[in-house]
Amino acid sequence: MRNTIPLSELAKTIRSKNAGVDKITFDIIFTDRSAYDLVRKSGVLTRKTIAQLYNIPEKRISDFVEFDPAMAIKFTIYRERPSGSPGDSDIFGSQQYAPLLDIGVPSSLDE
């Protein structure tokens, strides 16, 4: 059995925010290159794993970027309904990051 570290212990910032009327964007930012590389190479954050985590079809993910110069992983999803419309539960999109916090990242890729 692999030992894992919660993503929230490896990343400096994990956040979500409004990205226009029909999108929410997510940022996972690291200050340590080895932590960023570990997460990136582990495969715990991909279009497929994000779709599974949020129980959405992959086609709702408009962008997924691993941005090496900033040691950041960013993805954007299409909202189910426009921001602020009836039934929208998070106008600012700022409460959508919580499922990312406890993602288990293997402590080593050697195992």
- What pLDDT, in 10s, does the model give residues 38-57? 999 999 999 999 999 999 99
Q: Provide the 10 A C-beta neighbour count for residue 108.
A: 10
Mean pLDDT confidence for 34-41: 96
Which residue segments constitute the domains of the chain, with CATH numbers given? 4-83 (3.30.70)
Least confident window among 11-15, 18-22, 93-97, 106-110: 106-110
Beta-bridge partners for 23: 78
The band of 2, judged by pLDDT with boundaries at 50, 70 and 90, is low
Across the chain, mean pLDDT equals 93
Beta-bridge partners for 75: 26, 64
Beta-bridge partners for 72: 29, 67
- Say if residues 29 and 67 touch (Cβ distance below 8 Å): no
CA 56 to chain centre: 13
pTM (global) more than 0.85: yes
pLDDT tens profile 69-83: 999 999 999 998 888
Q: How far apart are CA 97 and CA 90, in angstroms?
A: 12
